Amino acid sequence: MVKRTSILVFGVVVGAAVLYMIFAKRAEETSRLGRLAANLASSDRAVRRKALVALSKQQRQELITSQKLLYELYQAIISADDDPNFVGQGCSILSRSLKNDEIIAHAKRLIQENQQQTKVAGALVYIEKHDPIAFAQYFKGKRYSNLSPEVQQQLAGNSTVRMLQIQDVAKIVDDYLNWQPPPHSADMPNPYRQAVVAAGTDAVPLLIKSQGNGPVSPAVARALGEIGMPDSFPYLLNEYKSNPRVDIAIAIGSSWRSLYVEKALSSLDESELHSLLGAILGKRWDRMKNQPKGEVKKYILENLVEIILECRKRSRPVLG
């Protein structure tokens, strides 16, 4: 009987000790996360950033389960409306925790009001995972150009935002290709040229696709040349073989990269190569045209950045 009582007492003591340790751990976590929330709400960006690193480390080690603490951390993060990257990163970290209905309700109010764009972007980052219907509803009927820079930046990797961006670029390319100057205004610049160039890599496949199986138009050759992305090099080189125009050659020069130099030198016959390099290098070709191919390649590689920049500039339309 004494032995049983001793065992029972021992079990109670051990149980009490375990409960004490659990409650002590929770109290310590609550205190630590409370201090973290205070630092996240600091007006000092350095303090906020350090706290954000600590929060990320905490989430990797053990997810925060306290709904109350999660909402406190969220409020601290979302209040930093002068720091879009901090808010976006912080909301992304919190979104890895368990779903928090209070955060979702607050985030949905922010995106419905659609006022403070740093907070809207952070709210969207959070509900992207926890309320995809509300997330999709925000973008319904919107164009990429209508989105704030904060939303564009913080949701850059999202497929919905990316689709809107591609749709915008497609519209810009279409407007660029179909624009016609008013009567008696042949020298009027295409108002969509700068937007196409700014679209960069996204515009390249659309410009190429627009040409179908026909020869590349001067407008597309100039646009590809001014964009100067290596994605267009294979297409332009193939076009040059069948239609060795100067504007195509210049566009090849602007889309050249070191990996493509050998391809250009080896895939054209001597006459084609001389015409191409003459168009790209201009007067400098007079000094190089009698040099061995190896020296020509070396010269191009050593001066490639300058050649690219020069050809991009020469691809701009000259009016008047």
Query: Per-residue pLDDT for 24 more than 50?
Result: no
Q: What percent of the chain has pLDDT over 90?
A: 61
Q: Which pLDDT does position 22 carry in this prediction?
A: 45
Spatial separation of the C-alpha atoms in residues 247 and 179, rounded to whole Å: 20
Query: Per-residue pLDDT for 171 more than 90?
Result: yes
User: 88: helix, coil or strand?
Assistant: helix
Please give the model's pTM, rounded to 2 decimal places: 0.76
Task: Using the CB atoms, write b or e for 178-187: b if 16+ within 10 Å.
Answer: eeeeeeeeee
pLDDT in tens, 131-151: 999 999 999 999 999 999 999
Q: Which pLDDT does position 82 carry in this prediction?
A: 87
Range from 22-26, 105-109, 315-319 carrying the lowest mean pLDDT: 22-26
Closest of 189, 185, 182 to residue 318, by C-alpha: 189
Please state the separation of Cα 77 from the chain's center in Å. 23
Return the higher-pLDDT residue of 191 and 184: 191
Query: Per-residue pLDDT for 61 more than 70?
Result: yes
As a whole number, the mean pLDDT across the chain is 87
Indicate if the alpha-carbon torsion angle 239, 245, 247, 253 is positive or negative: positive
Q: Following DSSP, what letter does each residue of 198-221 receive, concatenated?
A: HHGGGHHHHHHHTTTTSPPPHHHH
Q: Which pLDDT does position 37 carry in this prediction?
A: 83
Spatial separation of the C-alpha atoms in residues 85 and 67, rounded to whole Å: 24
Give the residue-averaged pLDDT of 221-243.
94
Q: Which pLDDT does position 25 carry in this prediction?
A: 45
Query: Per-residue pLDDT for 30 more than 90?
Result: no
Q: Which pLDDT does position 4 carry in this prediction?
A: 60
Whether 193 contacts 317, CB under 8 Å: yes
Q: What percent of the chain has pLDDT over 70?
A: 89
Range from 21-35, 86-100, 185-199, 208-222 carrying the lowest mean pLDDT: 21-35
Query: Per-residue pLDDT for 182 more than 70?
Result: yes
Range from 12-21, 117-126, 215-224, 238-247 carrying the lowest mean pLDDT: 12-21
How many separate helices (H) and strands (E) can be counted in the chain?
19, 0
